[in-house]
Amino acid sequence: MTAFLVVTAITLLAVAAILYVIRGRSAPVRSLDELTARSKPVDLEAFRNLVSVEEEAYLRESLPPRQFRRVQRKRMLAAAEYVRRASHNAALLVTLGESVRSSNDPQLAEAATELVNSAIQMRLTAILVLLCIGIRIVFPQTKLSLARLTDDYERLRGYLSAVGRLKAPADMGRIEAAL
Amino acid sequence: MVFHVFTWCLGPVVQTIIATVMYRRGAHREYPLFFGYTLFVLVTSVIQLIMVFGQKKGFASYEAYFWFFWICEAVGHLLVFWLLFTVFRSSFAPYPRLNAISSTLYLTTTAAMLAFAIGVAVMSPKPDSHWLISSILSLDRSSELLRGGLMVFLIVFSNWLGVRLPHFQFGIAVGFGVGACLDVAAIAFRTHMGQSANVIYSTLRSVSYDLTTLIWLYYVLAPAREPVASTVPSHDEVRAWNRSFKEMLQR
């Protein structure tokens, strides 16, 4: 009975997931304006501060162990929110890049391809970083580097700038501020 | 009885239409493995039908039908997994980062689904006294779990990344995914209920196959919806329109 119920529940969930994807496929980001409306701002400086090794070492020395673990958990939860935002923005950039890739302008198409690849890389990095953050929330004493995410996000912004310069140069400030 | 015959016939009829449309549009060159699989299923279905009638007319034996059926099943399963691997690889091929890890993703998903299938097989009861029927149902369920898991993973993962699978490739994945899920549910039902559920089980399997072929037919016939760039005018464009409008007013 248990196996029957488990298998039936999983298959229903799987069919629901497929239907959800089929419905959602019609809503990609198609323009830079739409991107600024749907993106979530990421404060990279604040994120760097949250995952800074020096900052962590300073807190470890200045606070009693129990308080350090509590503070460190809160810092990691905040960092996780930044990662989720960065990952969300990367997903938007994949769909934007996909829509621009078919452009007749070869320069724009190439820039869009770079943007898509970089955004995919960012999404994959975000999974690993979230995993590391999860470990650090459970075991605050663990030392795992999370700095890779900022490098990937900076690179992603760079590729978006390349697309933006070709597609809507006057809006670059607004687009960069949105990310 | 009429419904049973209808569900049995619908799948091959729809696959005939799919094969014809693909051939006429030249899609068989783009998806040779899927086209080959469609032809394989069609030809073997027709031969099996002839052999079933042949048994009644006396020119075919049950033993010949038995061996032909199970050899076709085995070859069909191998073909499907080869096809799924091709769909997996080609879906990620345009993205260098994903292309590099596509084989790893395929193998990891396969291993995870195999572990799940073994878990389900261990947990499931064995209602059939004949070990061969129990083993076949268990193997069939494992194969369907693997097929469904691979396709659901491909669909959900690519959607999570924001990657848009090519129209027909997406259709193949959806067809195999939905079909495998329904098959797994049907096998779980049959395993749970025992031999008394044989008629419902066989109808459910036919309906699942029909639904799979209807999904493929939809994706073969429906035109691909390509992403349209910039449906909303950018600020730059609006400013340019304003400039032109002002110039027009000043004339």
d(CA B15, CA B18) in angstroms, rounded, equals 5
Contact B125 A119 (CB under 8 A): no
Looking at residues B118-136, what average pLDDT do you find? 72
- B124 within 8 A of A8, measured Cβ to Cβ: no
Q: Which amino acid is at B94?
A: P
- How confident is the model at residue A143, as a pLDDT? 73
- B170 within 8 A of A3, measured Cβ to Cβ: no
When CB atoms are compared, the residue of A91, A100, A117 closest to B229 is A100
Q: Give the highest mean pLDDT range of A77-86, A147-156, A160-169.
A: A77-86
Looking at residues A57-84, what average pLDDT do you find? 87
At B141, is the secondary structure helix, strand, or coil?
helix
Minimal CA separation from B181 to chain A, in Å: 5
Give CA A118 to chain center in angstroms.
Answer: 11
Q: Which residues of B touch A130 (CB under 8 A)?
A: none
B238: pLDDT strictly greater than 50: no
B1: pLDDT strictly greater than 80: no
Q: Where are the domains of chain A?
A: 32-178
When CB atoms are compared, the residue of B188, B227, B235 closest to A8 is B188
A interface mutation test: which of B230, B236, B238 has the most A CBs within 10 A? B230
Contacts A–B by Cβ distance under 8 A: 132
Contact A95 B162 (CB under 8 A): yes
Q: Which amino acid is at A175?
A: I
d(CA A147, CA A165) in angstroms, rounded, equals 28
Contact B188 A167 (CB under 8 A): no
Instruction: Report pLDDT digits (tens) over A97-133.
Output: 887 777 777 888 888 888 888 888 888 888 888 888 8
DSSP 8-class letter at A146: -
- B40 within 8 A of B20, measured Cβ to Cβ: no
Looking at residues A60-77, what average pLDDT do you find? 87
Q: Which residues of A touch B227 (CB under 8 A)?
A: 28, 30, 95, 98-99, 102
Cα–Cα separations (whole angstroms), residue A171 to A174, B216, B235 = 5, 43, 7
Q: Which residues of A touch B124 (CB under 8 A)?
A: 3-4
| Token digits of residue B88 | 């997996």
Choose between B80 and A24: higher pLDDT: B80
When CB atoms are compared, the residue of B155, B181, B227 closest to A21 is B155
Q: Is A42 on the interface with B (CB under 8 A)?
A: no
| Phi and psi at residue A39, to the nearest 5° | -80, 160
Contact A98 B188 (CB under 8 A): no
Per the prediction, chain A carries an average pLDDT of 81
**For a pLDDT cut of 70, what percent of chain B falls above it?**
86
- How confident is the model at residue B102, as a pLDDT? 84
Per the prediction, chain B carries an average pLDDT of 83
| Token digits of residue B168 | 């027909």
Q: Which amino acid is at A63?
A: L
Q: Model's pTM, two decimal places?
A: 0.77
Interface of chain B toward chain A, CB-CB under 8 angstroms: 95-98, 120, 123-125, 141, 148, 152, 155-156, 159-164, 170, 174, 177-178, 181-182, 184-185, 188-189, 191-192, 225-236, 239
Which are the contacts of B78, defined by CB distance < 8 A and separation ≥ 6? none
Choose between B214 and A163: higher pLDDT: B214
Complex ipTM: 0.72
d(CA B65, CA B44) in angstroms, rounded, equals 11
CA angle A110, B155, A178 (to 5 degrees): 50
- How confident is the model at residue B225, as a pLDDT? 65
Q: Which amino acid is at B4?
A: H
- Look up tokens 């590391």; give the residue: A132
Instruction: Report pLDDT digits (tens) over B42-84.
Output: 999 889 888 888 888 888 888 888 889 889 988 998 999 999 9
